[in-house]
């Protein structure tokens, strides 16, 4: 399948989106980001993978970094399409990650009795499985998360 990422410079300049996780909702922010990325004309599985990782990351910010904190919940999302990958940055001013580190995202056990099956904890496992070069920093009271999503690879 032809992929623009392999044929030269990316057809989309870097862009930045600002939103509010509470007022606007993660869905709306995600919809705006995915609309911008349409210019990359990505194959559907790749597009779906990007949407999933962005959703997990943004939901984590909304549910954990801001959580029960009242008031505005600003999120800044930057996307930088490159050769063979899409570099993503997510910045928020919510609570820091527990222990100042990214969660391990270990696979959840599934061979368990029904009552013991996990109802959560899949998010970081999915992010770690699909994203590369994950970096987290707490700087000036803000969380900065950066990672790359591979483009133009099968699977």
Contacts of 51 (CB under 8 A, 6+ apart): 30, 34
Q: Is 128 in the site for another protein (CB under 8 A)?
A: no
Determine the Cα–Cα distance for residues 101 and 1; give it in Å rounded to an integer. Answer: 38
**Is residue 126 close enough to count as binding another protein by CB under 8 A?**
yes
Per CB under 8 A, does 111 bind another protein?
A: yes
Please give the helix or strand (H or E) that residue 19 lies within, else none.
Answer: strand 15-20
Beta bridge partners of 79: 15, 88
> Taking contact as CB under 8 A, which single stretch among the options 35-43, 90-98, 122-130, 145-153 is the one that binds another protein?
122-130
Q: Are 62 and 18 in contact (CB under 8 A)?
A: no
Which window, 9-17, 48-56, 96-104, 139-147, contacts another protein (CB under 8 A)? 48-56
Q: Two tokens at 141?
A: 């009271």
- Using CB under 8 A as the binding rule, whether residue 115 contacts another protein is answered as yes
Told to check if 108 binds another protein by CB under 8 A, we report yes
One of 48, 101, 133, 153 touching another protein (CB under 8 A): 48
Q: Is residue 49 involved in binding another protein (CB under 8 A)?
A: yes
Question: Dihedral, CA atoms, 24, 36, 66, 132, nearest 10 degrees?
Answer: 160
Summarize as ranges the residues that interact with another protein (CB under 8 A): 21-22, 25-28, 44-45, 48-49, 51-52, 55-56, 59, 62-63, 107-108, 110-111, 114-115, 117-123, 125-126, 129-130
């Amino acid at each position: 399948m032809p992929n623009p990422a392999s044929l030269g410079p990316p057809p989309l300049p870097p862009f930045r989106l600002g939103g509010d996780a509470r007022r606007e909702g993660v869905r709306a922010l995600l919809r705006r980001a995915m609309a911008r990325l349409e210019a990359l004309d990505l194959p559907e599985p790749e597009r779906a993978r990007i949407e999933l990782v962005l959703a997990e990351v943004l939901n984590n910010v909304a549910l954990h970094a801001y959580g029960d904190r009242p008031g505005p919940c600003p999120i800044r999302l930057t996307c930088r399409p490159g050769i063979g990958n899409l570099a993503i940055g997510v910045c928020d001013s919510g609570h820091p990650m527990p222990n100042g580190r990214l969660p391990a995202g270990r696979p959840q056990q599934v061979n368990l009795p029904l009552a013991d099956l996990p109802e959560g904890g899949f998010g970081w496992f999915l992010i770690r499985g699909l994203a590369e070069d994950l970096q987290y920093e707490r700087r000036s009271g803000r969380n900065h998360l950066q990672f790359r999503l591979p483009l133009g690879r099968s699977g």
